[in-house]
Structure 1
Amino acid sequence: MTNSIYTAPPSVAETVLPLFGWQQPALSIEQFGSGLINSTWKITAVTGEEFILQKLNMQVFTDPGSIAANIQQIAAYLQQHAPGYLFAAPVEALNGTTLVNIEETGCFRMFPFIKGSVTKDVVATAAEAYEAALQFGKFTHLLSGFDAAQLYITIPSFHDLSLRYRQFLQALQNGNTARIAEVKEQIEQVEQRVSIVQQFEAIRSNPGCKLRVTHHDTKISNVLFDEQGKGLCVIDLDTVMPGYFISDVGDMMRTYLSPVSEEESDYSKIVIRTDIFEAIVHGYFEQMKTDLSAEEIKLFVYAGKFMIYMQAIRFLTDYINDDVYYGARYPKHNLVRAGNQLVLLQQLLQHEKALHHIVEKVCS
């Protein structure tokens, strides 16, 4: 293994790679990407071939077989109905499966690395937002003929806003009383926006709002770009489940519109970039305009309110519950995150009328 670079546990090289047919030591195994859930490495073979190896977080994904089954179904459908679409299908292990579960080590899978592809962690330009939105819209559009009900639910109630609000109310009953007193202002802000929950419940009973194959995690790092900045495809399909379009559009708005992330503690930096919003609308509608009903199009701006509000609730609930879900890297970390999202929501509401005009202009 001379001249090799290893930033992964020895068990990955010695135990996992042979199960995928590796006969020689890897030239390099390096940590890859910025994901917070799964452990990911880029593997380079002595032949020059490159692969992505992932260890699934089984505390989050308790049934990895369901994820594998979903990806296999989607891969088969796209191969038949959209053979030209770039889809990074998982590599089969020697036992014929796409997952290997090693006792006391973990559950692993491998994908081919798309040569010349790059990922981005932050949306810097409207062009990047457009390309990302186009790719997420294209993914859902190409799967419009696929019965979403066939997919397994990999994270139950992941984007169930009604459940998140009930969990918030339970935290007010059973959580840390000192913290509840401390965050009275934030609690009032959440309670004042309960109409966002009521609208979500109306969507779930509205036949004009369709359950589709939905990615559910549309941050820009889940899009592969080429070296010229053009989108290639979407990746990280662990959360692909039946869902409403507001999940994908809302998560793009939540993570693209402001130049700073949910971690920013200087709330004066949180602003709505309307050029980024317009780019999202153009990119997503280019693929999905004919798929969306008139009722869904009217919900485009609501999608941002839905996702931002839900994330604010989740951070605030976790803070009240002593940081048992997200954890905290420093005191009041989740309170900072909750406040960040509440400011972002307020900024979105202030721009709501202008954003609706953008949607109307693009759709006309």
Structure 2
Amino acid sequence: NPFGNGHINATYKVEILNSDVSFILQKINTNVFTNPQNIVHNHLAIQKSIIPADIEIPHLIRSNKGKFLYLDENHNIWRMMNFIKNSYSVEIVEDRDQAYEAGKGFGWFLKACSGLNPSIFYEAIQDFHSLTFRLNQLNEAITKNKSNRVSDSKSIIGFYKEREHKLLELEESFETNKIPVRVVHNDTKINNLLYRNKKAIAVIDLDTVGPGNVFFDYGDAIRTITNTADEDEKDLSKVDFNLEMFESFTKGYLLQTKSVLVDKELNLLAYAPFYMTFIIGIRFLSDYLNGDIYYKTKYPKHNLTRSLVQRKLIEKMESKFESMQYIIEKYSY
């Protein structure tokens, strides 16, 4: 039976008659993951290293031919994992307890992977969180102006341009190894976490796992958990940065990770939500200027609306930045 609401791979739950054992079967989207063997390699590297405790990851299962991937007659590529019983995911964080557990869950993952060598992992999607790459895409979209939308978008283009220099300085600290390269999840949406009895019990959807840094995981989780509105909310007055959710997630995250993070990471961690929100904002804007060729849209200015929401979220973060820094320092030591 079809299972979940993922946007990339086709996912099914397989139930065995007269048994309580179930599995997750997925057809891998090879348009996104062009080398499925690489994501299997990454998954197995973690699977062999992480010892399950209160929180776990799904495990890949071999086919009857002993392989972790199966090629069908239509050249589709499939893989199977164990189904984690009595669990559920959420699409929106409903309260501070859920946010705290999310922080614990994703923090556990970073800590559990802290002893792994990032150099043995493949980059699942090249330049996925590269600010330089995304800015080059934006600049190209502005220059080409394929859909004649630049003149009507000068205000929001200017907003992002005013802030790019500061965030490029942050990215430079990644590239000069001032910020350690780590094995990270790279896609810490709240629905990539499973709960049982209101406790985080599993981190799932490991296709993007690979080299990165703590800013990617912490920043994207904060971006999605703290936004008080939908990602495409037209009424921008509804968009705010929920500082209580920020504190709850941060408390859980640093409870797990403060023993492995270095001072430089902790000192700059408050910039992580800006970095990730900025990147998704300019991705939406670039797609709008290019004529909406990447993200699915429901109306002509849908991508512009999405980018405006990210802009408003950044503005709200800026107004609460000192509080964000204080909260991170509070739970760092």
Give the TM-score band, short-chain normalised.
over 0.9
Deviation at 1:201, TM superposition (A): 2.9
Q: Answer whether contact 2:147 2:291 (CA < 8 A) is retained.
A: no
Paired letter, 2:23: F
Measured against aligned partners, the alpha-carbon deviations of 1:264-297 in whole angstroms (never above 9, x if no partner) come to: 2221111111111111211111111021111111
2:38 is matched with 66
SS at match of 2:177: coil
Distance 2:170 2:295 in 1: 24
SS in 2 for 1:346: helix
Match of 1:291 among 260, 270, 275: 260
Larger-Rg structure:
1
* Residues in 2 aligned to 1:102 and 1:326: alpha-carbon distance in whole angstroms: 29
Q: Does the CA contact (< 8 Å) of 1:196 and 1:305 recur in 2? A: no
Per the alignment, residue 75 of structure 1 pairs with 47
- Which residue in 1 is equivalent to 2:164? 194
Residue 354 of structure 1 and its aligned partner are, at CA, apart by 1.2
Q: Distance in 2 between matches of 1:329 and 1:38?
A: 21
Q: Of 156, 163, 173, which aligns to 1:203?
A: 173
Counterpart position of 1:109:
79
Inter-partner Cα distance in structure 1 for 2:70 and 2:314: 42
Q: Which amino acid aligns with 2:108?
A: K
Identity rate of aligned residues, in percent? 35
Query: What SS class does the counterpart of residue 80 from structure 2 fall into?
Result: strand
Give yes or no for the alignment of 1:224 onto 2:194: yes
The aligned residue for residue 64 of structure 2 is 94
- Please tell me whether residue 322 in structure 1 is matched to residue 294 in structure 2: no
Q: May I ask how many residue pairs the two structures share in their alignment?
A: 331
Tell me the C-alpha RMSD between the 2 structures: 1.4
The residue correspondences of 1:3-18 to structure 2 (distance < 5 A) are: none
Paired position in structure 2 for 1:43? 14
- Equivalent pair of 2:255/2:331 in contact (CA under 8 Å): no
Deviates more, 1:232-241 or 1:140-149: 140-149
Q: Deviations over 1:30-87 (max 9, x none)?
A: x221211111122222123221111111111111110011111111112xxx254533
Report the equivalent of 2:100.
Answer: 130
Q: Residues 158-173 of structure 1 correspond to what in structure 2 (within 5 A)?
A: 158-173=128-143
Distance 1:103 1:255 in 2: 39
Where do 5+ consecutive residues of structure 2 fail to align? none
1: distance between equivalents of 2:115 and 2:161? 39
The match for 1:244 is 213
2:183 is matched with: 213
Hey, what does 1:308 align to over in structure 2? 277
Deviation >3 Å, runs of 4+: 205-208
Following the alignment from structure 1 to structure 2, what is the Cα–Cα distance between the partners of residues 268 and 40? 36
Distance 1:108 1:60 in 2: 14
**One-letter code of the match for 2:8?**
I
Structure 1 gap segments, 5+ residues each: 1-28
Query: Partners in 2 of 1:124 and 1:195 — Cα distance?
Result: 35
Structure 1 SS opposite 2:60: coil
Structure having greater relative contact order (Cα 8 Å, sep ≥ 6): 2
Deviation of residue 360 (structure 1)? 1.7
Distance in 1 separating the partners of 2:155 and 2:89? 38
Q: In the aligned structure 2, how far is the partner of 1:126 from the partner of 1:86?
A: 22
What TM-score results when the alignment is normalised by the length of structure 1? 0.88
> Which residue pairs with 2:325 in the alignment?
356
Determine if contact 2:147/2:290 at 8 Å carries over to the other structure.
no
Give the Cα–Cα distance (whole angstroms) in 1 for the partners of residues 244 and 43 of structure 2.
Answer: 34
